Amino acid sequence: MAIEARIRELGVRHKSLERAIEDEVSRPAADAVRLRELKRKKLRLKEEMESLKAKPN
């Protein structure tokens, strides 16, 4: 159960980062450094979620 809760928590953070990326991209002068960092964080969360899902219960 703890793994499932962690996956849900990571999913919420992943969606939050997706919104932040969309907001940054929609700005007239998007900050490329901020955008790159947001994308890296999002990818790390996705990788962690996939790793947790792959673990046997």
| 17 contact partners, CB below 8 Å, separation of at least 6 | 38, 41, 42, 45
Residues 9 and 47: beta-carbon distance below 8 Å: no
Q: In this predicted structure, what is the pLDDT of residue 55?
A: 84
Amino acid at 45: L
Domain coverage including residue 30: 2-54
Q: How many domains does the chain have?
A: 1
Total-model pTM? 0.87
pLDDT (tens digit, 0 to 9) for every residue of the chain, 57 residues total?
699 999 999 999 999 999 999 999 999 999 999 999 999 999 999 999 999 999 876
Q: In this predicted structure, what is the pLDDT of residue 56?
A: 76
